Structure 1
């Protein structure tokens, strides 16, 4: 997402107290970058004033310029949520009279911890008309530049002295008077991406100031590529492998042959019965297949057993002569 300007809002206070207010800009959304600026005249304390940012805000930088009428600019930031109050309240380390604030909203900035590519503060010479910001190095070609300026002067009632800048777009440029003093506060931006490399801006004022301070920041764009997550399912075809080898059955094979039947001619004997145990040699087979053979293999054998036997008369016998056939007959007891 490219960076874009959303809106701005501001307020001025002339009450001597230790508080200040930031006003919410219109049309902000969750994740918008809010840049808050507080400009004040710290003459009541005579030195730099401690600024305590409102709850949920983060201090970016405070720049102080001493002088007969000193000036101080404090920059803070916040990532907008889905629900924000209409104002935010902060506190100061001492009571101050003249205070001005503004909040500018930008969309498309990076995460809260990394919203600026670079930033810096600067000051103008006492009783000067012109000043330059700090020089910052831009390393992101999609970054936007934001410039802020604030000043204290003793020309209240003498006309509308205001800031000008060589920055592209002015978003807010206001002043506040109190007694003889005038405070000026302005914000500009590049209204688009700026080139990489060193960059700075110049701020001028119609009449001289007694003290002035400024700030420059480079807004880093959000990373538009979402982080990788989840998983990727890939269906790969099944591998094809050709395998060849020899399957050898180890050990002896036991087979039981049925009792052989014998036809006896001539002299007879009792037929053999029971079983014959025979040990067959281990068969070896060559197998060629697409996949390896695993597990066990059952082999059924039907051995044929050749039996050679001699018929013998079994038990006691008697020889008698058959008178009719005139043959000798063997009779078993």
Structure 2
């Protein structure tokens, strides 16, 4: 059963597992989490987190713009009055008023939404339920949340530790590399310079010890980075030819192309020599099947969740974390 199909608790099912499952099934709807006497909300569209509201730590967009010196108190007051009478988003109204640029509104909205997501990701407990019938507000189209970075951020939280361990454990004694299609979605992770330097260690491959050793990235973050890539199928064991696959709606990765079978140029044929045999046909390059890719990621997630004791394997203690 999908973690989205029945109510649960973040103390039992970490947010990272919910986000991975939502991405796999391209879920659209509303995730509600009860905590601190209220309900925080995370909207999803095609498996991507697109907007959040929180019980605690509320930071109105207008106040953020005022604190950043981008609007004055008069513009804030007028926009609040227009919001009450028109029911339109405050950012749109401020742009129409000429009080602030669209770029500044988008930047502040991205900061606001990232902060709200961080509040939800930091919860170590809270009853949750997913409503696939709930409409997704139009304002969420400008939230600028990254569907891939939010997974990494959620995996970094302590409550996702067992999920990270279960993803890394199978590679404790072998090397890992980036999958062939990683480059196509690398920008969606919004890596920092230090994280980019860390990931270069996977070219061509690295053991876990080599990957984690002597990096500027904090250990918890480094583990979350690699666990996310593994669970998304964007990092694979260095041995074998495991393909990568689709990662998110609208982002389809290619399988590794099979090497083309070509014959070397024939030598000059002497007189009366038999004609050279034609080269064998080139093996066609395969492309990823979105359904296959989603099923592959689903298997990775289900195995990791079994390892951490969710579902029929509840009660089994997780294996010890691989040590860098």
Same fold flag (TM > 0.5)? no
- Tell which structure's C-alpha radius of gyration is larger: 1
TM range (shorter): under 0.3
Work out which structure has the larger RCO, using CA pairs closer than 8 Å and 6 or more positions apart in sequence. 2
Per the normalisation by structure 1, the TM-score is 0.22
